[in-house]
Amino acid sequence: MGKDERVKVYILTGFLGAGKTTVLNSLLRQFSGHNNIVIENEFGKVNIDAGLITEKIDQLYELTSGCICCSLDNDLLEVLGNILQKEERPDHVFIETTGIADVGNIIGMFHMPDVQRHYELVSTICVVDAENIFERLQQVPEAGKQLSCADVIIINKIKQLAVPQLIYLSQQLEQMNPLAFITTSEDGFVPLKELHFPEKSIGATIAPVAPVKHPHKVNTVLFESPEAFDLNMLVFVLDLHFNAYPDQLYRIKGYVRIKDTPERMLVQSTGKYLHIQPAGEWGSATPSSTLVFIGKELKTPTIQRILTPALRK
Ligand SMILES: Nc1nc2c(ncn2[C@@H]2O[C@H](COP(=O)(O)OP(=O)(O)OP(=O)(O)O)[C@@H](O)[C@H]2O)c(=O)[nH]1
């Protein structure tokens, strides 16, 4: 039989903030020299993740009109079609799903005969936040579905756990998905030679699905302001509310303008930790702040009320 010339596809899944983009950067670094395309899907209207891809890629497609798991007649199929029109076919396509995607629906697309003819789904990789996965499994059903569909599970952020806890977590995940290859990483680094992609993706057993629109219980709130934040006040209000509502607020990310700071600052929060770090010049963009909040039943007026005192007067 001839060599399989189809484009190789890797789906990256995992709950909000688990480390999907971090793992993606690590994979791209290790696949450098190949022709790599990334498809980024963000739950909200604004795609922050696109700016977090630090490695060289051939093209980035951003899908921000909703969660690609929710319908089949959607932008993903269009993008897969567009990729085939390119002069040079890519070697790999990496699809980073939203942190709440029902990945079964996306896997199902790769069993549609027209898609399967050109694309080979190599693996569905689920990234797990070692520290908060148990909480998330209780709070959000999608987190369990992501694990059960995975061919490879990467337990990330392992320094947050003691060894016995890590062994316990690994055993629990193995029970949830005995077919998956389970490995660990810190800062998303897994050497490619240690990644065992199964002969046949578990997704091979998932039939193409009918287009379903299922409302996720998770929602996003976008906060935008041209004004600069006071850094200390911003840290204070975000820390305060993240600690007060860990069951409701799962993720904060975005870029902000900080008083007396010429650079733009990247804000990331995934649970207990808040990181605000320099993220380069504003370039031609007008300095302003864009923060995406992702959680359960979040309300725009509440987020505005929380953040407004931190804006520079
Ligand atoms: N301490 C620690 N932080 C990590 C590790 N891996 C990633 N992070 C941090 O966790 C945050 C989220 O990482 P991302 O890679 O953006 O996670 P994600 O799953 O792509 O996030 P969403 O796309 O929002 O769902 C960032 O602040 C990362 O720097 C790790 O191994 N240890």
Q: What is the pLDDT of residue 208?
A: 47
Nearest atom in ligand 1 to 186's CA: 31
Asked whether the ipTM of the predicted complex exceeds the cut of 0.90, the reply is yes
Nearest to 54 by CA among 17, 36, 29, 37: 29
Give me the architecture of the 218-310 domain, per CATH: 2-Layer Sandwich (3.30)
In 3-state terms, what secondary structure has residue 68? coil
CA atoms within 13 A on the CB side of 175: 5
Instruction: Output the CA 130–ligand 1 centroid distance in Å.
Output: 11
Tell me the whole-structure pTM to 2 decimals.
Answer: 0.88
Residue having the nearest C-alpha atom to atom 14 of ligand 1: 19
Q: What is the pLDDT of residue 313?
A: 63
254 lines ligand 1 (CB under 6 A): no
Instruction: Output the CA 129–ligand 1 centroid distance in Å.
Output: 8
> In this structure, is the dihedral angle defined by the CA atoms of residues 244, 249, 253 and 254, taken in order, positive or negative?
negative
pLDDT in tens, 46-60: 778 778 888 888 899
List, in order, residues 6 or more apart from 278 with CB less than 8 Å away: 261, 263, 264, 265, 266
Residue having the nearest C-alpha atom to atom 26 of ligand 1: 268
- Quickly state the pLDDT bin for 99 (edges 50, 70, 90): confident
Residue having the nearest C-alpha atom to atom 2 of ligand 1: 157
Report d(CA 51, CA 43) in Å as an integer. 15
Q: What is the pLDDT of residue 62?
A: 87
Q: Which CATH number fits domain 7-205: 3.30.365.10, 3.40.50.300, 3.90.550.10, 3.50.50.60?
A: 3.40.50.300
Give me the residue spans of the domains in the chain.
7-205, 218-310
In the DSSP assignment, the letter for residue 19 is S
Nearest atom in ligand 1 to 24's CA: 15
Q: Which two tokens stand for residue 141?
A: 């059903």
Q: What is the pLDDT of residue 70?
A: 67
Residue having the nearest C-alpha atom to atom 5 of ligand 1: 187
136 lines ligand 1 (CB under 6 A): no
pLDDT in tens, 122-133: 999 999 999 999
269 lines ligand 1 (CB under 6 A): no
Report d(CA 115, CA 126) in Å as an integer. 22
- What is the arithmetic mean of pLDDT over 274-291? 92
Would you state the torsion angle of the CA atoms of residues 226, 228, 232, 238, taken in this order, to the nearest 10 degrees? 0
pLDDT in tens, 157-193: 999 899 999 999 999 999 999 989 999 999 999 988 7
Nearest atom in ligand 1 to 269's CA: 27
Residue having the nearest C-alpha atom to atom 4 of ligand 1: 187
Give me the chain's average pLDDT, please: 87
128 lines ligand 1 (CB under 6 A): no
